[in-house]
Amino acid sequence: MQLWTPNQPLKNGRFIVQKVLGGGGFGVTYSALEQRTGKLFAIKTLNPIQQSQGDFQEKQEQFVNEALRLRGCQHPHIVKVHEVIQEAGLWGMLMEYVNGDDLGVYVDKHGHLSEDEALRYINQVGQALECVHQQGFLHRDIKPNNIILRDGKQEAVLIDFGLAREFTIGKTLSMTNSKTEGYAPVEQYERQGRFGTYTDVYALAATLSSLLTGRTPIPANYRKDGDIPLKAPKQFNSDISDRVNNAIIKGMALEPRDRPQTVREWLELLKRSPKSQIQNLKSSKMDYTRLRDLLAVGEWKTADQETNRVMVTVAGREKAGWLNSESIDSFPCEDLRIIDQLWVKYSNGHFGFSVQKRIYQSLGGTRHYDSEIWEAFGDRLGWRNTDRWIMIKDAVFGMEAPLAHLPFVKDTFSLASRLVDCNI
């Protein structure tokens, strides 16, 4: 069992250990000076607790393989992994040394962040996470203490991949249930579960909440076991915008299916809505003022009914009461664009045809019907429940609804094609 000490030489004197930088359930990180260059590095190893376990060699092999894979995550907001080294049988991950405070320490020193500052760092970390996910990894330990601010720069760097694991979408996997209370989603409390990019979405949303309020969110297992609702961050900081408040709540949904499924989808919720009003509320066929007024006050159910009314009227399908493929194919682009802009604007990007189209196409959807894709699409939008399609009376008419849940329109795969034709 090894615990390196200050002034200890490594690799035949190539490095001199400086001090312990930090540790957790799996690893311990040291600063070390490379004598030839005078450059400071960080070296991470498995900690003494892990070294004493019977499966230590297996864990070392996993540690090295993951270090090598993480080298593929070359991103300005991810700590850089240079190489792996071995000292007396103990493998270490040689990384760049990032000088600066982590965001947890920074908030302790300066108080909660402004919304603009917090979003700057969250967007940087979100981009870094997208790179990690593209490599087939989950970080699984996003929190303020694992994000360092470079001294003198407004740059955040994601560190500590000690809990990072490979994942496969749609498969049940066994993973260690190590976690950080308040930032880990409910699925991380189980040894087996369907982990996905939405697992890191929860932690990133919880981190944003903490940065804006200075408070650690209530642990997910307490919320589930005690049926305790999540308090809106805005209750602790009235300066938080409704847009960001709603995005945090959405990202921290207890059930994975109710969260944005990717970091990109969640980051879209944080984007500012256009400040200018939609200028044209009338097309050659319809006046959309009433729809605008309903959406502006959050009357989602009535707005959904109004959307159906104006669309069947524009299409000349009042008697049928619904749109078929032919009427969608010829639906005026001008009207479709106004309806979509209104839904997107007043839901802060949570609802709208263009949001539905993006999700449908991300699943591989095309104009041609595919039952598996269509069902997966219905699952993502909350249009299905226990393998059955819901009725309109069972829809959720509020911001707590799944992303792109509204508006309801029959034959959405035809509508997605029309949205492409209209460049929406």
Residue for token digits 């299916």?
A: 257
Q: Calculate mean pLDDT across residues 255-263.
A: 91
Fold category of 9-96 in CATH: Phosphorylase Kinase; domain 1 (3.30.200)
Nearest-angstrom CA–CA distance, 236 and 185? 21
Looking at residue 288, its pLDDT comes to 95
Tell me the two tokens of residue 214: 């200075």
Tell me the domain boundaries of the chain.
Answer: 9-96, 103-270, 289-421
Q: Residue 177: pLDDT above 60? A: no
Q: Residue 153: pLDDT above 70? A: yes
State what percent of residues in the chain have pLDDT above 90.
40
For the stretch 135-149, pLDDT in tens is 788 888 899 998 999
Nearest-angstrom CA–CA distance, 138 and 128? 11
Looking at residue 141, its pLDDT comes to 86
Q: Pairing state of beta strands 39-46 and 27-34?
A: antiparallel
188, 199 Cβ separation under 8 angstroms: yes
Q: Which residues pair with 34 in a beta bridge?
A: 15, 39
Q: Which CATH number describes the domain made up of 103-270?
A: 1.10.510.10
Q: Calculate mean pLDDT across residues 205-223.
A: 94
264, with CB counted inside 10 A (0-12, 13-18, 19+), is: middle
| Cis? peptide before 407, omega within 30° of 0 | yes
Lowest mean per-residue pLDDT among 71-85, 169-183, 215-229, 408-422: 169-183
Q: Residue 160: pLDDT above 60? A: yes
Looking at residue 254, its pLDDT comes to 92
Mean model confidence pLDDT for the chain? 85
Question: Residue 407: pLDDT band by 50, 70, 90 thresholds?
Answer: very high
Q: Could you tell me which residues come within 8 angstroms of residue 168 by beta carbon, excluding any fewer than 6 positions away?
A: none
Tell me the two tokens of residue 276: 């200018």
For the stretch 342-376, pLDDT in tens is 998 888 778 999 888 878 877 777 767 788 888 88
Q: Which residues pair with 30 in a beta bridge?
A: 20, 43
Give the HSE-up count for residue 384: Cα atoms under 13 Å, Cβ half-sphere: 13
